[in-house]
Amino acid sequence: MAKLDKFLFNRVLKQFLECKDLDGNKGLGLTEKIRNLTKDNLDKVLETINRVNEPHKEVLKDICGEIAEASALFRCLRDTDVSATEIIDILGSQKHSLKPEDIINHSLNLDTEFAIQLLKLVENTKLPIDLSKLSLQTDKIDNPEFKTILLRYFSTVKQPKIAIILTRFLTDSNKVVVLEALQALDRLSVIFDASIILPFMEFMSGAEQKLIFSIIDKQADANLVPHLSPYLTGKSSDRNDLFARIIARVTDKENFEKLLTLLKIGDQLTQQHTIASLQKFSTDNLSEVARELSDHKQKFIRNSAQQLVINLLSNKDIEKIGEFALSDNWQARDRAVQTLAKSSNRASISILKNVVDMWPDTSVLVLRAIKQLGFSKGLEIAFDCLKSQEANVQRTALETIDSLTTKKHANSIRDTILWNIPGLTQELKGYARQLIEQITRDYDLSVQEIDNKSTDNSGFVDIPEMQNVNRQAKKSALDNLKPGSVWMNRYHIKKEIGRGAMGRVMLVEDKMVDESLALKFMLPELTIDKETTERFKREVKYARKVGHRNVIRVHDLLLQDSICAISMEYFKSRGLKEILDERIFFDTRDGLQILYQIARGMAAAHEEAVIHRDLKPSNILIDDSGHVKIADFGIASASFSADSALTQTGSIIGSPGYLAPERALGKDADERSDIYSLGIIAYYMFTGQLPYRGKPLEVLAKHRDGKAAPINEVRKSVPFEIALLVSKMTAVDPAVRTSSMVAVHNEIEGILDANPET
């Protein structure tokens, strides 16, 4: 029977091919017979299509398109010698009913040319794809054009699981394919789990990196937040900032708690950097979430959350901020005070009063907040702070009083300042008297005579102004101090060991105690200048407060024959600048050990409210054993005369290359100004160059812009931990800078302990 059917088909096919008029009755009849026999003789029809011409070819193809099942046609693509092009053409007539997964799966088994032809049938298909039936092995696809067509189709699929398939192409060796895969992910109209593409970021750069960041940003939801934990302190600042913004925008309580739990396991450096980044990009959403966690039973989560409660400025939130302001977590406390300063809420003053009563070390920060708020009610706190023994607090209190003074209270404010003058430091007494004169002048008050003696109980002996002393005589007197000579019948001059803008330094033998000392002599031509003389005096007063093994010990202020000198310990050493000129930069461990000692010494100075203001390599001394001492607190002062980096004459107080941005703007110096300078020193030590170079005023402008290249870009071998440390120390905004020298040396110690072989 089969043979008979075969014979019948062959005879009809022959008659069909011999027919000249397929549109006539005979031709139409033969066409209908072929249509009825094609299903059982598909291979023969396809073979015939391959060797005949029009119009018979077209009729046979139409018949196959109508009669043949797609599965049979797909089989023929692999199992016959019939032209694949013809079969694909026939399949094209059925594309509206072809399953996308069948098209893709069968195209993977064809040679490249035919695979691309077949795959194009998937374009614009309306049928949904069954991803579970897709047999896709991306590593076995070689042709980029095939991958591109496939990726563009996948970008139209409206199923979240398609993103997983697209990520398989992100490790392709062809960058064009990788970019196409990213663009496909970006075009997806469905929400998917963005965490699946996080691991691929490490391989991205340039346009690819920007695109993957955009995808993550667009797809991010609260569930992504915990997955970002390992990626928050990478080498890319753009990535770190993006993730901090995402967390602030999308997080909820549950997922933020998970994030903080993961951070708790990590190192302290990562924790601090992450919290600082989140503070930088905080939103109302993050503040609200953090507030919900601010009473968490786990201390780390509780403290971290408290630091992030910002932008809560409504009346109902002030009470909560007040709780944080009294927290034993100093970071949360400082952040709360800064938030109160922006609140414009009078209730903030009462909270700030409680803060300064409970935590006196916050006095300067509280006073600045009061000054920013601008409420005269804050004057009570400012006058209480005048009673502090710390010059920095007294100075800030006077500045706050100056800012809050109005005509209504001017007279009583002036009287209260006068009453408090005896308790002020010597330098600030002058400032207070000037403030009284200013208030008298500005508000047309009756002139009040001030008895300087009654307001001065410091007991500190002033250096004579020496304005009437012959200048040449003084110069000759200092020039006579040469090796072999004796000064004050006590100090045997051995040699000159240093020279600077303020004077000369001599190595002497103190015959009274049989000890080698260093004497720093002020240049005679400077002593007719009262302000410079006062600075010389302050060097003794403030430097004597600091006793630490990493700080040059200052002994006494000496005066004879119109010559002023400071006696201090002699430390046989070389300046860090001289050492750097020889070796260009330091290896990691050597550099960290030097920085650690500097930070320890400066921490001791800051404990005494002494700010160096001119920390630079030439003021860092190192002996042969590696021991470090800080020298030259010559412009360290808490007085108003040194408040600005630029004096009234335009002279720079401090070295431009190491000057903190706020100092370049003429603002107050505090501990963070010294931290910035030490950060610049670290930059120099590990790279062999300063971050900003040029003329002095150009350098000051660059410090304010803060666009220095990260040190691990300037010198690739610098570890990321050090680059992060330096970055935090040299932040332009003091509020986000490393907050204390204690924190600096603790971080350095942590790096050294974590990397004993560094």
Could you report the per-residue pLDDT of 508-518, keeping only the tens digit for each?
Answer: 998 877 889 99
Task: Flag whether pLDDT at 642 surpasses 50.
Answer: no
Q: Are residues 522 and 625 in the same domain?
A: no
pTM: 0.47
Q: Are residues 598 and 653 in the same domain?
A: yes
Specify burial of residue 91 (Cβ count, 10 A radius: 0-12, 13-18, 19+).
buried
Q: Are residues 723 and 579 in the same domain?
A: yes
Cis peptide preceding 55, ω within 30 of 0: yes
Q: Are residues 534 and 654 in the same domain?
A: no
Question: Domain for residue 32, yes or no?
Answer: no
Task: Flag whether pLDDT at 475 surpasses 80.
Answer: no
pLDDT at 216: 94
* Across 424-451, average pLDDT: 79
Task: Flag whether pLDDT at 470 surpasses 60.
Answer: no
- Domain CATH code at residue 750: 1.10.510.10
CA distances to 193, 274, 726 from 230, rounded to whole Å, are 17, 10, 21
Q: Are residues 135 and 200 in the same domain?
A: yes
Instruction: Go through the chain and tell me how many residues it has.
Output: 758
Q: Are residues 555 and 660 in the same domain?
A: no
Distance CA 98, CA 514 (A): 104
Question: Domain for residue 260, yes or no?
Answer: no
Task: Flag whether pLDDT at 650 surpasses 50.
Answer: no
pLDDT band at 360 (very low <50, low <70, confident <90, very high): confident
In terms of average pLDDT, the best of 276-290, 399-413, 460-474, 490-504 is: 399-413
Phi and psi at 367, nearest 5°, equal: -60, -40
Q: Which of 219, 234, 249 is the last residue of a domain?
A: 219
Count CA atoms within 13 Å of residue 600 on its CB side.
17
CB 277: neighbour CB atoms within 10 A? 21
Q: Are residues 562 and 586 in the same domain?
A: no
Q: Which of 164, 194, 219 is the last residue of a domain?
A: 219
pLDDT at 730: 93
Domain that holds residue 131: 98-219
Minimum mean pLDDT among 154-158, 660-664, 736-740: which range? 660-664
* Across 339-348, average pLDDT: 82
pLDDT at 466: 32
pLDDT at 524: 66
- Give the chain's domain count: 4
Q: Are residues 557 and 593 in the same domain?
A: no
DSSP 236: -
Question: Domain for residue 271, yes or no?
Answer: no
Q: Are residues 524 and 552 in the same domain?
A: yes
* Amino acid occupying residue 471: R
CA distances to 298, 495, 628, 724 from 591, rounded to whole Å, are 37, 31, 12, 15
* Across 345-365, average pLDDT: 88
Question: Domain for residue 591, yes or no?
Answer: yes
Q: Which of 554, 569, 584 is the last residue of a domain?
A: 569
pLDDT at 525: 58
- Tokens (6 digits) for 504: 């000369």
Q: Are residues 165 and 214 in the same domain?
A: yes
pLDDT tens for 52-75 read 888 888 888 888 888 888 888 888
Q: Are residues 719 and 593 in the same domain?
A: yes
pLDDT tens for 563-576 read 888 888 999 999 99
More confident residue, 243 or 4: 243
Question: Domain for residue 324, yes or no?
Answer: no
Minimum mean pLDDT among 99-108, 117-126, 470-479, 628-637: which range? 470-479
Q: Are 239 and 201 in contact (CB under 8 A)?
A: yes
Task: Flag whether pLDDT at 331 surpasses 50.
Answer: yes
Q: Which of 159, 180, 179, 181 is nearest to 168 (CA)?
A: 181
pLDDT at 160: 93
pLDDT tens for 180-211 read 999 999 999 999 999 999 999 888 888 898 99
Task: Flag whether pLDDT at 241 surpasses 80.
Answer: yes
pLDDT > 90: what percent of the chain? 25
Question: Domain for residue 199, yes or no?
Answer: yes
Count CA atoms within 13 Å of residue 100 on its CB side.
18
Distance CA 284, CA 245 (A): 12
* Amino acid occupying residue 254: E
Task: Flag whether pLDDT at 270 surpasses 80.
Answer: no
Question: Domain for residue 369, yes or no?
Answer: yes
Q: Are residues 500 and 645 in the same domain?
A: no
Helix (H) or strand (E) holding 491: strand 491-499
What crossing angle do the helices spanning 410-420 and 391-404 adopt, rounded to 10°? 170
Question: Domain for residue 583, yes or no?
Answer: yes
- Domain CATH code at residue 479: 3.30.200.20
